[in-house]
Amino acid sequence: MPRRDDIASVLVLGSGPIVIGQASEFDYSGTQACKVLREEGLRVVLINSNPATIMTDPAMADATYIEPLTVATVRAVIEKERPDALLPTLGGQTALNLAVELYESGVLDEYGVEVLGADLEAIQTAEDRLKFKEAMSEIGLESPRSSYVKEESQAFEAAAEYGYPVVLRPSFTLGGKGGGIAYDEDELRRMIRQGLADSPVHEVLVEESVLGWKEYELEVMRDRNDNCVIVCSIENLDAMGVHTGDSITIAPAMTLSDPEYQQMRDAAFAVLRRIGVETGGSNVQFAVDPATGRQLVIEMNPRVSRSSALASKATGFPIAKIAAKLTIGYSLDEIANDITRKTKAAFEPTIDYVVVKVPRFAFEKFGGTDDTLTTKMKSVGEVMAMGRTFKEALNKAMRSLEDGQVGFGAGPSLDIDDEALEERLRRPTAARMDAVDEALTRGWSVERVSELTGFDPWFTDQLLQLVERRRELRAYEHLAALPDDLLREAKADGFSDAHLARLLNTSEDHVRARRHTLGIRPVFKTVDTCAAEFEAYTPYHYSTYEDEDEVTDSDRDKVIVLGSGPNRIGQGVEFDYCCVHAVFALRDAGYETIMVNCNPETVSTDYDTADRLYFEPLTFEDVL
C-alpha cells in the first residue's frame, strides 16, 4: 500500500543519555529513522537529551530539541509543533516508557497525536510480563511459570511453589535493572526489595528458572498486510541466566535443526500478531531445553533494540530504516533493498558467513564490583566480527576488544587447581573464556566443559579445535620450520600475526613477511543480504583467507577513517560522532571515504555512511 497521506509531521523520541543497556545503537536507529522520514517528505521533530549523538545534529531533523525526556517537556513540544504522530519505537526503553506515560496522562489524546510503530496496548502487553504470559497462553505458546508480585511476601510464596533458584524480572526497566537470580531466601529478600524499588510500577515478575537452557533471539519485521520476515537468528553462547547483552552471540544460529528453527520462526510470527506489532521490528527471545528440545517464549521487545542493530550490521538489512517506512504505510514488498537494488524488504536475508559479537566489560574501573554475569546487564560496549567460520569470526572479535587480547587463548595459563578451575567454568564472568581455554588445554573433555559452562557441545568442540591448532603451532620452535599449509590453516582459523608471533617466539613483522612471501594475504568478501544470489551495489566488506577477492578498486582519491572501536568508560558515542562528521567533510571535499570499524552499535558502521565500509578489527595487521 502507498505511503499514508494523513501524516505530515512526526515527533521522534530519542533514548537520552548513554547507560548500560542503552547505548549508541539507538543513535544509529534514530538517525536512520530521521533520514528516511525526511526523504519521504515528512516534517521531523526530534527530542533527545544527549548532545553527543548524530541524531541531534541540526541537519537530521526539521526541529531538534535537546531537552529532558519527560512528559512535561514533550507536552510543551507537542503544543508548539503540533505533530500528527509520535514514533517511540526507535528510542529504546526510555522512549517506550515515555510514550506510555504520555498516553496515560492524556497528552496524546488531548492533541490528537497517533503512536506509530506499535500501539499502546501492544507496548503494555509486551512490557507487562503477566499480560505477556497470558497472551502467549492464548496462542498456545509456552512461557516459564511465573507470578507477578508487588510485595516481598508474595515473592517468597512464589519461590516456595517453583523452588530455588528463581529469576526476578522487574517490569518496565532497562537492561534487566533490578533483576537477577536468587538462589536462596537471603538473596531473594535482598533482590526483591531492589527490584520493587527499581520498577517504575513497583512490580516484579518472579519466574521459574530455566538456567542452563539454550537462548536464541529472532529479529522479526511485520507490516500492515501481515507480511512477516525473519531478518536474523541469533544464538547465545552462554546459557539462560546471562543477559544477552553480556553473552557472546553468534549469527546465524548454529545449533538449531531446521524443524526447530521453523517452529521458532512460526512462533515468533504468532507473537507479533498477538501482541499487535503491525508496522516495525521486534526482538523475540526463546529458551530451548537442550535435553528435550522444548521451547519457551521468554520475552519480546516491541521496538528496535540492541540486537536489532547487531542484526542490521550482520545482514546488511537496515531494520530501523525499514521499520520507519513501515510506520508510514509502506509494506515490506514495496521497500527496495539498497544493497541488491533488485530485491525487496520482503526477501529474507541469507548470509554465507558467520558473525560473532563479544561484549566489552569495564570491571577493572570499579574495584570490588561483583563480576558474575546475571540477568542484569553489565557490559559497556561490544564488538562484532565476520568470518567464513565460527573460529575465524571469534578470533577476529576477540582481538577487536582493545583490551590486550590478540585472539582466543592468547593469554597466560591459569595457575589454579582443578577445583578452582571448575568453579570458574560454572560461574559466568567476563573471563570465563580463559577458563574454557585452560580446561581444554589440560585435556578436559568437550562433554565435561559443556556441562560446567552450559555451552552447546558444538561450540565447545570448535574451541577445542582452536586449542589443538595452537598446540600444533607451538610444536615448531621457529617460524622458518612452520609448514606452509599449517600457516595457511592458522590464518583461515582467524589467528592474527601477533598471536602467531607469540606462539612461535618471533615478531609480528617476521610473520607478516613470511605470509607475504608465500602469497598468504586476506581477500575481502561483500555483505550482500542474499549469499551472492544477486549482485551487491553497496561496498560493505569483511576479510577472510580464501582465493576470490570481491572488492573492485576505483581511481578516486581516497581517505581511510579509523573508527573508535567498542564503547567503554571514557570513550563512547562522541567519537563516533567525530568519525561520521569526518566522513561527511571528506566526501564534500571530493574524496572517496573508507570507514574501518568493529562496533555494530554505531552510525559509522551503517553501510551508507561512508563510500566503503570494512567491518574489521582496529589492529595494525587488519588495517594494513
| CA–CA dist 496, 508 (Å, integer) | 9
The predicted pLDDT at position 145 comes to: 87
State the pLDDT confidence band at 560, using cuts at 50, 70 and 90. Answer: very high
Residue-wise pLDDT tens digits, 581-621: 999 999 999 999 999 999 998 889 988 899 999 999 999 99
Q: Torsion over CA of 508, 512, 517 and 519, rounded to 10 degrees?
A: 150
Residue-wise pLDDT tens digits, 122-132: 888 888 877 89
Residue-wise pLDDT tens digits, 471-526: 999 999 889 999 999 999 999 999 999 999 999 999 999 999 999 999 999 999 99
Q: Where are the alpha helices (DSSP H) in 178-257?
A: 185-198
Residue 418 and residue 394 in contact, taking contact as beta carbons nearer than 8 Å: no
Residue-wise pLDDT tens digits, 14-68: 888 878 777 778 888 889 889 999 999 999 999 999 888 888 888 899 999 999 9
The predicted pLDDT at position 260 comes to: 95
| CA–CA dist 360, 382 (Å, integer) | 5
| CA–CA dist 498, 486 (Å, integer) | 16
Residues 6+ apart with CB under 8 A from 536: 339, 340, 526, 527, 528, 529
The residue with cell 527496495 is 336
Longest dimension (CA), the chain: 78
- Across the range 74-100, mean pLDDT stands at 91
- Across the range 412-435, mean pLDDT stands at 95
The predicted pLDDT at position 248 comes to: 97
Is the pLDDT score of 1 beyond 60? no
Is the pLDDT score of 568 beyond 70? yes
Fold match flag (9-116 vs 540-623): yes
Is the pLDDT score of 371 beyond 80? yes
Per mean pLDDT, which range of 4-18, 162-176, 426-440 is the poorest?
Answer: 162-176
CATH architecture for residues 145-208? 2-Layer Sandwich (3.30)
Is the pLDDT score of 391 beyond 70? yes
| CA–CA dist 200, 213 (Å, integer) | 30
Q: Which numeric CATH code is attached to 214-349?
A: 3.30.470.20
The top-level CATH class assigned to 540-623 is alpha beta
Instruction: Domain ranges for the chain, please list them.
Output: 9-116, 145-208, 214-349, 540-623
Of the candidates 544, 562, 26, which has an alpha carbon nearest to the alpha carbon of residue 312? 26
Is the pLDDT score of 410 beyond 70? yes
State the pLDDT confidence band at 175, using cuts at 50, 70 and 90. Answer: low
Residue 553 and residue 520 in contact, taking contact as beta carbons nearer than 8 Å: no
State the pLDDT confidence band at 456, using cuts at 50, 70 and 90. Answer: very high
The predicted pLDDT at position 450 comes to: 97
The predicted pLDDT at position 29 comes to: 86
523 forms beta bridges with: 544
| CA–CA dist 266, 217 (Å, integer) | 13
The predicted pLDDT at position 176 comes to: 66
CATH of 9-116, one of 3.40.30.110, 3.40.710.10, 3.40.50.20, 3.90.1150.10: 3.40.50.20
The residue with cell 530451548 is 288
The predicted pLDDT at position 532 comes to: 63
Residue 470 and residue 438 in contact, taking contact as beta carbons nearer than 8 Å: no
The torsion angles phi and psi of 113, rounded to 5 degrees, stand at: -95, 125
The predicted pLDDT at position 80 comes to: 96
Length of the chain: 624
Residue-wise pLDDT tens digits, 291-300: 999 999 999 8
pTM score of the predicted model: 0.91
Residues 6+ apart with CB under 8 A from 505: 477, 478
- Across the range 324-343, mean pLDDT stands at 87
When the pLDDT of each residue in the chain is averaged and rounded to a whole number, the result is: 91
State the pLDDT confidence band at 180, using cuts at 50, 70 and 90. Answer: confident
Is the pLDDT score of 79 beyond 90? yes
Q: Torsion over CA of 99, 376, 236 and 298, rounded to 10 degrees?
A: -60
Residue 374 and residue 191 in contact, taking contact as beta carbons nearer than 8 Å: no
The predicted pLDDT at position 534 comes to: 65
